Amino acid sequence: MKFRLDINGLRAIAVIAVVVFHFNEAWMPGGFAGVDVFFVISGFLMASIISTKLDKDQFSLFGFYLSRIKRIVPALAVLCLALLIFGWYGVLDAVYHQISRHIMSSLVFFSNMTYLGESGYFEASAHEKWLLHTWSLAVEFQFYIIFPIVLLILRKLFSTRLVGLMVLLGTLLSFAVGLFVTARWPDKAYFLLPTRAWELLIGSLAYFYPWQLTSVQKKVSDYLGVALIIGSYAFISKDTPWPGHMAIIPSLGAFLILQAQRNDSVLTNNYLFQKLGAWSYSIYLWHWPLVVYFYADVEKTPLAYAFFIGLCVLLGWGSYQFIERKIKDSHALILFIVTFAAAYCVAQQSGHFESRAKSQDPRNEIVNTYNNYIMDPEFYFDSCNATFTLDKGKPIGIDEKKCISAEKGGLFLWGDSHMGALSYGLRHFLKENMPDMPFSQVAASGCHPTFTIRREGQKNADLGCNYSNDKAKEAIQQVQPEIVVIGARKDHEQYDWVDTVKTLKSFGVKKVIIAGPLPQWSPSLPQVYVMRHMGEEVMQDRNFDMSLLKTNAYLNKISEDQDEFVFIDIINGLCSLNEGQAPSCKVKVGDTLLAFDYGHLTTDASVYVVNQFFGHVLLDY
């Protein structure tokens, strides 16, 4: 295929947006859509490369895969090696271990699955993951593996016209799947190929259905395409469900530019965009680690922004000039093996080496102490957590003799693992102040207490949650407790708390207490504390989960002017709110941190939180 200057310029439009967005999303709130533009470009190029060689009977599946590996791996491997070297001198053991695991995942193009697994219950901050951006490379490479096989099969079965029709149907199907999944499981929609494939396939459609346009029509298509892309960068934001229906805007914009085929367009064929387009892959690779470093250790001044964005371009140029253009096939394989092996060694050592200065940093001991926090089963009442029983390979079920009181009445704790973390404090309080009050507990990790919403999946979390909620209903009716404490990690606004309270009251429960969310930090409170707040009792940090403030506001609103339940506002009890910024929160109880991970209470904190915020309500029942 003849080199297309417009595609090179389109790459520049995409990479500029991504870099600007990641350094400061306020400058370009929808800049993340540049990745979607890259997907469309890739789909077009792959359809063109594969189909052209199939037409000439010159296509080799092995040769195609090898060409993709040679194109992607060398620059990626060099970046990964650079991170391993930097990490040796610059980060603590836990972070170095994480980098090594992410390098291995990135090199085998599985990182989208890795980050999906980390994006839910144990979510770490985006700005703590040095290779987060490789999720898009993984999606593309997974497409590269599947797409040529599909085209080979379709070409054997159908005419070229029907092959294009099949690609169109695949595009529509993937788009429909994307809409459905985005509305229900946004993390999966964002990271997985089936919900992203339609963007790559739209690019393929530009190849299978080229438009025959006049010069004027080409200009209109070109300008309209650029307008749609720039408009999406300006008016879409990270709060937009993605890749939902709005993702069609930048994708259609890229499609229109591809159809225009204007190599003389001033919008795409200018010196700056041609250079940035040529370096775009390497700029994309290097920009995110620089963003992570920038947000961790650099004061946000105009000069700092200019320097680091310029450094992205400089490193991108160097990577393009000396790696992308110079590395030979054999060297690519050597780079892959050396980098993967080095990352594997670091992972096996959990990032700790006696010869590494950072491994001797006393802050490691603090982080490792909490990473290895040994929970006495009595702390969480593990045998009362349905998910824990499943994780141990046992049949689903809690220890009913231990978890459900044989006596009528008392206090009943129901919820997820964060409620489990309150269990120790509640039992301690009852023992000290209300020793005759029976205690019951039913829980499941990651499970909101509800009578009406059931999970449809078959994973441990789904099975444990449904069992837990069914068992809680049965046990509450059986025990008839005076007090029920319910709560969950976050996202309370997505569940039917008022209806749940009404049902509990219909069972004869006298007092229902809804526990608000606890403060949460990513990747973990211990890591944030040792990196930026050593010795502080009260901490304000950007890695506080700001979505909790929305949840808290919702719970405060539904608790107004009613006497059906008591809302315990833990966040406002522990934190001072700062308008437009992360709150300042108490993070230590004596010498012990509030949480041993991102938000689960330590034993000392469990006792403190219950005494401070629940005690007077319990005594007044």
> What residue has token string 């403030």?
549
Tokens describing residue 47:
């359809």
265: left (phi over 0), alpha (psi -120 to 50) or beta: beta
Name the pairing type of β-strands 511-515 and 588-589.
unpaired
CA distance 510 to 343: 57
Which of 409, 438, 439 is CA-nearest to residue 423? 439
| Separation in Å, CA 308 to CA 205, 464, 567 | 37, 47, 46
Q: What is the phi/psi pair of residue 184, to 5°? A: -115, -40
CA distance 536 to 3: 58
* Runs of H (alpha helix) within 245-361: 248-260, 271-278, 280-297, 302-319, 329-348
What was the pLDDT predicted at 185? 82
3-class DSSP assignment, residue 532: helix
154: left (phi over 0), alpha (psi -120 to 50) or beta: alpha
Residue 491's contacts (CB-CB under 8 Å, 6 or more residues apart) are 448, 547, 551
Residue 335: alpha-carbon gap to chain centroid: 29
Residue numbers in the chain where pLDDT is lower than 70: 1, 119-125, 329-330, 374-377, 389-397, 457-460
Residue 196's contacts (CB-CB under 8 Å, 6 or more residues apart) are 39, 139, 174, 178, 243
What was the pLDDT predicted at 371? 76
CA distance 186 to 359: 37
What's the count of helices (H) and strands (E) in the chain, helices before strands?
27, 10
CA distance 423 to 375: 13
What was the pLDDT predicted at 1? 65
Tokens describing residue 34:
């540049």
- pTM of the full structure: 0.76
DSSP assignments along 554-573, one per residue: HHHHHTTT--S-EEE-HHHH
| Separation in Å, CA 237 to CA 20, 175, 322 | 13, 20, 36
Class in CATH terms, 376-619 = alpha beta
What was the pLDDT predicted at 373? 74
CA R_g for the chain: 27
What was the pLDDT predicted at 579? 81
The H or E element containing residue 588 is: strand 588-589
CA distance 233 to 25: 10
pLDDT digits (tens, 9 = 90+) for 540-570: 998 898 889 999 999 999 999 888 999 999 9
Domain ranges of the chain: 5-357, 376-619
Tokens describing residue 555:
């719970």
Quote the DSSP letter at residue 247: G
| Separation in Å, CA 404 to CA 413, 472, 477 | 10, 9, 11
pLDDT digits (tens, 9 = 90+) for 420-430: 999 999 999 99
CA distance 210 to 61: 25
CA distance 144 to 42: 9
Q: What is the phi/psi pair of residue 521, to 5°? A: -130, 155
3-class DSSP assignment, residue 440: strand
